[in-house]
A and B are shown apart, each in its own frame.
Chain A
Amino acid sequence: MSEREVLELLRENARYETADIARMTDLDEDEVADAIEALEAAGIVRGYQAVVDWDRLEDERVRAEVELNVTLDRETGYDDIAERLARFPQVKALRLISGDYDFDMEVEGDSIREVSRFISEKVAPVPEITQTVTHYVMASYKENGIELGDGEDDDRLSVSP
């Protein structure tokens, strides 16, 4: 299925040119453009972002993984809590998960103080939230499938049999 193949290529590198995707998939450029448009229209592709190695920037960027436990009542479901939390721009990712806690939330800010204040003042007071456990990210080694190290040099011979 061509849409699926286009999707895989976009996930590999969203900056591939339409013409290059066409060459790789044996589709013509119009078909690729149509497929991308359809993926976007269907809400399957929700956006395009750079994978950033924040550790290489001089500006401080603080990120935290926050475990959230909640209690539900008849009027309030997981979706309601999620909708409320997801609106905050500090929340970069929010997932309902199985296991020891309910939500896994990624938060970003300019300082530890800012992130801490956000969690204590905006998240913890939500009535259904019974517990928050905050883990500050100390270093990141892989993001979105991309390793953030220096990479392995190509040590192959430049010409070989």
Chain B
Amino acid sequence: MTRSLEPAERVQAVGPSGIRRFFEIAEERDDVISLGVGEPDFSAPWAARDAAIQSLERGKTSYTANRGMYDLREAISSYVADRFGLEYGPDEEVLVTAGASEAVDLAFRAFVDPGDTVAIAQPAYISYGPGVTFAGGEVLPVRTREEDDFRLTVEALEAAGAEAADLLVMCYPNNPTGAVMTRADLEPIAEFAREHDLAVLSDEIYAELTYDERDADASPGAATHASIATLPGMRERTIVCNGFSKAHAMTGLRLGYALGPAGATGAMNRVHQYGMLSAPTTAQYAALEALDSCANDVEAMVDQYGRRRRFVISRFREIGTPCFEAKGAFYVFPEVPDGWDGSANDFAERLLREYGVAVVPGDVFGVGGEGHLRVSYATGLEDLREALARIESFVDEHV
């Protein structure tokens, strides 16, 4: 920092997001169907919105406790126990944040010292790398592969040299691939973490959005979400981040939470209390209601995503574009079609300019994303039909 407001080196080290450019191109035309959005097309359940409105009517506009309203922490504690087998006490082990993104950022600022190495399973959500850089850490990409269904493996960790890392960041169900890791998949990862004394940041924002378990014929080995924090010896070395943006369609309310041992969430709260102070009060009331009475709304949304997921995968395969069978989140991650003479970036840019369909090239999500496209199905079926028809025309014309 200088008197001329020269940005700090770690800020300069982070370039503009690769997504930003596509956003700007998309804004140039008015007939774009966007499959590039990372948020639900549903509004938050009405009961949650109504609770937010009521809280305002009652004048609940003050700060809450730094850690979040006690009732909400208690509700989160019960919810994660019931739903995911995660046992965290509301007093000192739950921290309510302004979105799961704040929880992730707090973890980097609380646990990463300058020069520390943070292994990130990639392709990954675009904010992890910059977050590590802002905290002064070094990013170590760990490449997951399509042949492993984009699951993290010990081989991938070893190939990247992750045994020397200080922190491992993983996100399952995954943005952008839609990959899910089952308990069996996580066991060797947990063993690796214990063996090399590795802390884990597990972003589970898409935890509710898995589809196998809802299929009537789901096999016992179906891909349902499991949290690595529930594995032996992992609770004490894991921070779990989650929130209300995805499953409860509350992106704009910015409400998330972190779960971890008292000392760890205490350290995060130390950063939080000087920066954010407390998560938005109105959103906390909405979240409390969401947990209390909106499970059916979540289920209805997940049913819709499940149908669209099958539709989109099926259409990509008909078009002749290899498409990994995503099991979670609301993205599919197809390859650019065989015979396309260029990068995924070129494909996405020309598709947008020529046919008005916005998708995100896999490159922006880090290593392993090259040659792929992230396609969100958080869009109504009529738009999905039209977008896939346009993609088919584009492929017919150019490939």
Contacts and interface: CB of A to CB of B under 8 A. Distances in A.
Interface of A: 1, 9, 13, 16, 20, 23-26, 152, 154, 156-161
Contacts of B314: 23, 26
Nearest to A8: B303
Contacts of A9: 307
A161 B307 contact: no
A158 B19 CA distance: 10
A10 B22 CA distance: 36
B308 A159 contact: no
B315 interface: yes
B19 A161 contact: yes
Given A23-B314, A26-B310, A161 B385 contact: no
Contacts of B125: 161
A11 to B, nearest CB: 13
Given A20-B385, A156-B41, A161 B26 contact: no
Contacts of B310: 23-26
A25 B307 contact: yes
B360 interface: yes
Contacts of A16: 381
14 contacts: A1-B216, A13-B381, A20-B311, A20-B381, A25-B310, A26-B314, A156-B41, A158-B34, A158-B37, A160-B19, A160-B38, A160-B39, A161-B17, A161-B126
B394 interface: no
Contacts of B43: 152
Contacts of A159: 19, 22-23, 26, 34, 36-37, 358, 360
Contacts of A1: 216
Given A20-B381, A20-B385, A156 B39 contact: yes
Nearest to B383: A154
Contacts of B32: 158
Contacts of B148: none
Contacts of B358: 158-159
Given A154-B41, A156-B37, A161-B19, A24 B26 contact: no
A161 B38 contact: yes
A9 B306 CA distance: 13
Contacts of B41: 154, 156
Given A154-B41, A158-B36, A161-B125, A23 B19 contact: no
Contact of A24 (B27, B216, B308): B308
Contacts of A26: 310, 314
- Between A24, A152, A157, A161, the greatest number of chain B beta carbons within 10 A of the residue's beta carbon is seen for A161
Give the 6 A-B residue pairs with the shortest CB-CB distance, closest first: A159-B36, A158-B26, A23-B314, A24-B307, A159-B23, A158-B34
A87 B340 CA distance: 62
A63 B308 CA distance: 37
B39 A23 contact: no
A96 B34 CA distance: 47
- Between A9, A13, A20, A158, the greatest number of chain B beta carbons within 10 A of the residue's beta carbon is seen for A158
Contacts of B54: none
